[in-house]
Amino acid sequence: MTLLLAICVAVIFGVSIYLMLSRELKAVAMGVFLFSHAAHMSILSMSRSPIIATGIKTPPILVGHGEQLANRPPVDPLPQALILTSIVISFAVMAFLLTLLVLTQRRAGTLEVDLLAKEQLP
Amino acid sequence: MNPDLIILFIVIPMATGLTTLALRGHVVLQRIVGTTSLVANLLLALACLVYSYKTDTILVTQMGDWPAPFGISIVFDALSGMVLVAGAMVSLACYIHSFSTLEPDVERGFFHPLWHLVMFGIQLSFITGDLFNLFVAFEIMLMASYALLTLGATRKQMTQSYKYVMLNLLASGIFVLCAGLIYGMTGTLNYADLARIVAQARLVDGSPLPVGFNAVAVLLLLVFGCKAAIFPLWFWLPDTYYTCSVSIAALFSGMLTKVGVYAIARLYPMIFAADLVTDPLGSGQSFVQASDGVLAGGVTQNLLLIAAAFTMFLGVLGAVSMHNIRRILAIHVISQVGYMIFGIALLTHGGVRGCMIYMVQHMVVKSSLFLCCGVVEKHRKTDDLDKLGGMVKKTPWLATLFFVAAMSLVGLPPLSGFFGKYVVIKEGFLTGYWWLAVFALMTGLLTLLSMLKIFCYCFWYPSAEAEPATVIATAPRPRVASAYVGIILLVASALFIGFGAEVVNGYADRAADIATNPRHYVTAVLGEEAWLHIENADTTEIAHSTEVTP
């Protein structure tokens, strides 16, 4: 499963970097979004116990007095919480960036990086 | 003082942002609410800093009362306190300045709420004690700053701002990835817990850090480097600061890059490069000489050193080549960031101390220069040095204030810039990085050149375009009273940093103590036992590990 996840993450990273190298801002924006999705997916694979187990070997879940965790310790939920937070943020940023691109298109008439770069500042 | 009070540094700007949003359309009310809250914020920051210094405590509060490594810790110490106070001062002065220089339609937009939301993000990133929370703080700050930069949505802004937005989005993606990787390796994101794990890994019988740890440290450096505009990642800065309103540019030049520098100062000596810190106790023991070759530190340290040299020198060369006040000042920000990175990169107590003194004075001085530029623009409708001149007769006070601020930036001895540079450069020679110190000295010389260029062309020389005297006399004088209030506030603080250098040095000393010796931070956040466990395990090992450092 981890191998499958790793392949997926690698492919998405590759696609996103390809898109980011484009000279057109819409494609760059898509590349940036895909990059954050790839980052989220790779965080998902961190749900196991940490590489160096210094004191924290099981996920930080409180158990009631006298109760015990099941034989297999549950998956650490914290990476998923991180991903959720990050997804919400990237939604908001995505909405903002698309608005920005629409406005850029309206004001400058183009989204080509080469044409935008011709607008020289003093 | 109740340590829970420090949560106010987040609550005040957030509440003000929401209040001013509700008051949209009532500009006067927004101004009153905003100024009141910024003054309160400044006073609170000063009170907390003095309290924590006098009583030698680190103020810590745990969100939701979750015990330390599990919940989010909010930490106020000398390191974050110094930047908080300077930041609150800069924000207040720029805010007051904006009343007279901001375009009315920009102010009627979402200027006021966005200003406080930027401050919310900045202050949260200063006092948070959790890596993921730092990411969230960065995002809040960046979202509001994207909007502030493009406020007004002119063609000029639209064609330039995408660089800043895209680069920072990419940096945010990398930051999430790094946070995830660090959690996967260590099982924690709390700074104090990370510092404890790193310290434990240096023990003989402790489990060593995973191989990827250094790689993640370098990746994170990329993220903070984008924010701080260090060497290869600075191209967005000059264009971005040129297109927005001047008070916004002043706030950003003072604060946004410093958030990145602060994050490096907080995390690298304590966590990511902790094994390279020489003289970790700051008790004046002999420094480990980096004598074998010019670059003898670890990967992270070498990267920081090289980045510092290029940032300092290329930044100032860019400034010398420019011929617009605002562009010179903007590119100068980069060069000054180089000095701060230089201080941190030495990874010694003295280096971080110099960096802190320099950072605080830079925030104040650089913003005041931008504010002066705003008044010049208000008078002459341009900041092109070819078209300016003769301002010293028209606005003698502005010329004086500009001169004091510019000389502080250059570092003329009684003024504030001198002390930070002195400590950093002396530390550079002491630790054997003399080539970096030479770079820093040359940069200082070129800084003087570029500042004199502005002063001469704008204020001292007669006006280039021979304007008829009657036109100037009859032209209505712009109303810039509140702009002067802002400038005077900042120049007065700069003078205080210069003449009260001993006081600032004391605070910076404490800040460097906390940054380079994780014992203080870990004890304050995780409790006494967490650190005693390490010290008792092998006391001698920690002390000796400095000598093993290559």
CA distances (Å), origin B337, targets A18, B307, B388: 32, 10, 28
CA distances (Å), origin B96, targets B207, B489, B516: 54, 10, 37
Matching residue, tokens 């005693």? B532
Query: Stretch B42-53: mean pLDDT, rounded?
Result: 93
Rg value, chain A, Cα: 21
Instruction: Please report the DSSP string for B273-288 in residue order.
Output: TGGG-SSTT-S-PPPP
User: Closest Cα partner for B489 from B42, B187, B170, B140?
Assistant: B42
Nearest CB partner across the interface for B169, out of A32, A52, A104: A32
pLDDT at position B473 over 60: no
Q: Does B146 touch chain A (CB under 8 A)?
A: yes
Q: How close are the terminal C-alpha atoms of chain A, in Å?
A: 55
**Cα(A25)–Cα(B479) distance, integer angstroms:** 41
A119/B173 Cβ within 8 A: no
Candidates B133, B156, B158: best to mutate against A (most CBs of A within 10 A) is B158
A31-35, B299-303, B460-464, B526-530: segment of lowest average pLDDT: B460-464
CA distances (Å), origin B131, targets B124, B261, B498: 12, 15, 34
A4 is a domain residue: yes
Candidates A90, A104, A113: best to mutate against B (most CBs of B within 10 A) is A104
CA distances (Å), origin B149, targets B137, B159, B168, B436, B523: 18, 12, 13, 34, 41
What is the three-class DSSP state of B517?
Answer: coil
Q: Does B215 touch chain A (CB under 8 A)?
A: no
Q: What ipTM, to 2 d.p.?
A: 0.89
A26 is a domain residue: yes
A121/B173 Cβ within 8 A: no
Q: Does B393 touch chain A (CB under 8 A)?
A: no
Q: Helix/strand/coil (H, E, C) string of B254-319?
A: HHHHHHHHHHHHHHHHHHHCHHHCCCCCCCCCCCCCCCCCCCCCCHHHHHHHHHHHHHHHHHHHHH
User: Closest Cα partner for B119 from B19, B11, B26?
Assistant: B11
Give residue B467's identity as a one-letter amino acid code: E
CA distances (Å), origin B375, targets B15, B23, B245, B480: 31, 28, 12, 7
A3 is a domain residue: yes
Give residue B477's identity as a one-letter amino acid code: R
A108/B158 Cβ within 8 A: yes
The DSSP secondary-structure symbol of B478 reads: P
**B chain contacts of residue A54, beta-carbon cutoff 8 Å:** 186-187, 197, 200, 207
Q: Does B136 touch chain A (CB under 8 A)?
A: yes
Backbone angles phi, psi at B190, to 5 degrees: -75, 130
**Cα(B82)–Cα(B69) distance, integer angstroms:** 25
pLDDT in tens, A28-63: 999 999 999 999 999 888 876 665 554 444 555 566
B185/A52 Cβ within 8 A: yes
B280-284, B352-356, B406-410: segment of lowest average pLDDT: B280-284
**Cα(B434)–Cα(B412) distance, integer angstroms:** 21
Q: pLDDT at position A56, please?
A: 47
pLDDT at position B293 over 60: no
Chain-wide mean pLDDT for chain B? 84
Q: pLDDT at position B290, please?
A: 39
Q: Does B400 touch chain A (CB under 8 A)?
A: no
**Cα(B227)–Cα(B147) distance, integer angstroms:** 16
A14 is a domain residue: yes
**B chain contacts of residue A26, beta-carbon cutoff 8 Å:** none
Residue of A nearest to B154 (CA): A107
**What count of Cα atoms within 13 Å lies in the side-chain half-sphere of residue B39?**
9
Query: Stretch B284-301: mean pLDDT, rounded?
Result: 51
pLDDT in tens, B493-539: 999 998 988 899 999 999 998 888 888 888 888 888 877 777 666 54
**A chain contacts of residue B188, beta-carbon cutoff 8 Å:** 50, 56
Q: Which two tokens stand for residue B324?
A: 């617009």
The answer to whether the CB of B133 falls within 8 A of the CB of B72 is yes
**Cα(B119)–Cα(B252) distance, integer angstroms:** 10
**What pLDDT band is residue B294 in, cutting at 50, 70 and 90?**
very low
Structural domain range at position A39: 1-47
A112 is a domain residue: no
Q: pLDDT at position B239, please?
A: 82
pLDDT at position B292 over 70: no
Q: pLDDT at position A74, please?
A: 66
In B236-386 the beta strands, taken as DSSP E runs, fall at: none
A57 is a domain residue: no
**Cα(B224)–Cα(B243) distance, integer angstroms:** 23
| A102 phi-psi bin (left φ>0, alpha ψ -120 to 50, beta other) | alpha
CA dihedral sign of residues B535, B536, B537, B538: positive
Q: Does A58 touch chain B (CB under 8 A)?
A: no
Q: What percent of chain B is predicted at pLDDT more than 90?
A: 36
B187/A54 Cβ within 8 A: yes
pLDDT at position B466 over 60: no
Provide the b/e sequence for A74-89 (b: ≥16 CB within 10 Å): eebebbeebbebbeeb
Chain-wide mean pLDDT for chain A? 81
User: Closest Cα partner for B400 from B366, B380, B360, B372?
Assistant: B372
pLDDT in tens, B63-104: 888 887 888 899 999 999 999 999 999 999 999 999 888 888
Q: Does A15 touch chain B (CB under 8 A)?
A: no
Q: pLDDT at position B545, please?
A: 44
Residue of A nearest to B212 (CA): A51
The dihedral formed by the CA atoms of B373, B374, B380 and B381, expressed in degrees to the nearest 10: 120
**Cα(A92)–Cα(A98) distance, integer angstroms:** 10
Q: Does B167 touch chain A (CB under 8 A)?
A: no
In B336-460 the beta strands, taken as DSSP E runs, fall at: none
A73-87, B214-228, B272-286: segment of lowest average pLDDT: B272-286
Instruction: Please report the DSSP string for A72-88 in residue order.
Output: SPPPPSHHHHHHHHHHH
Query: Stretch B8-22: mean pLDDT, rounded?
Result: 93
Task: Count helices and strands (H / E) in chain B.
Answer: 24, 2
Q: Which two tokens stand for residue A26?
A: 């819409």
Q: Which two tokens stand for residue B390?
A: 């003769």
Q: Does B207 touch chain A (CB under 8 A)?
A: yes
Nearest CB partner across the interface for B207, out of A52, A82, A86: A52
Residue of A nearest to B180 (CA): A43
Cα A38 to chain centroid, rounded: 5
A52 is a domain residue: no
Q: Does A62 touch chain B (CB under 8 A)?
A: no
Query: Closest Cα of chain B to A10: distance in Å?
Result: 13
Q: pLDDT at position B286, please?
A: 37
A19-28, B30-39, B259-268, B428-437: segment of lowest average pLDDT: B428-437
**Cα(B168)–Cα(B448) distance, integer angstroms:** 32
**B chain contacts of residue A122, beta-carbon cutoff 8 Å:** 323-324, 327, 384
Nearest CB partner across the interface for B132, out of A82, A96, A100: A82
Nearest CB partner across the interface for A42, out of B143, B180, B185: B180
Q: How close are the terminal C-alpha atoms of chain B, in Å?
A: 44
Backbone angles phi, psi at B475, to 5 degrees: -60, 135
Q: pLDDT at position B543, please?
A: 46
A56/B69 Cβ within 8 A: yes
**Cα(B6)–Cα(B2) distance, integer angstroms:** 8
Query: Stretch B165-194: mean pLDDT, rounded?
Result: 90
**Cα(B368)–Cα(B125) distance, integer angstroms:** 23
Query: Stretch B231-256: mean pLDDT, rounded?
Result: 86
**B chain contacts of residue A82, beta-carbon cutoff 8 Å:** 132, 176, 179-180, 183
**What pLDDT band is residue B542 in, cutting at 50, 70 and 90?**
very low
Matching residue, tokens 């506030």? B489
User: Domains in chain A: how many in total?
Assistant: 1
A20 is a domain residue: yes
Q: Which two tokens stand for residue B384?
A: 């092109």
**Cα(B478)–Cα(A121) distance, integer angstroms:** 26
**What pLDDT band is residue B53 in, cutting at 50, 70 and 90?**
very high
Q: pLDDT at position B207, please?
A: 65
Give residue B167's identity as a one-letter amino acid code: L
Q: Which two tokens stand for residue A95?
A: 């909405």
Residue of A nearest to B174 (CA): A39
Query: Stretch B546-550: mean pLDDT, rounded?
Result: 41
B200/A28 Cβ within 8 A: no
Number of residues written out for chain B: 550
Instruction: Please report the DSSP string for B20-89 in residue order.
Output: HHHTTT-HHHHHHHHHHHHHHHHHHHHHHHHHHHHTT--EEEEGGG--TTTS-EEEE-HHHHHHHHHHHH
pLDDT in tens, A68-104: 555 556 677 888 889 999 999 999 999 999 999 998 8
**What count of Cα atoms within 13 Å lies in the side-chain half-sphere of residue B93?**
34
Q: In this complex, how many residue pairs, one in chain A and one in chain B, have their CB atoms less than 8 Å apart?
A: 134
Rg value, chain B, Cα: 23
Q: Does B164 touch chain A (CB under 8 A)?
A: no
Select the more confidently predicted residue: B291 or B148. Answer: B148
The answer to whether the CB of B408 falls within 8 A of the CB of B494 is yes
**A chain contacts of residue B201, beta-carbon cutoff 8 Å:** 52
Select the more confidently predicted residue: A33 or B25. Answer: A33
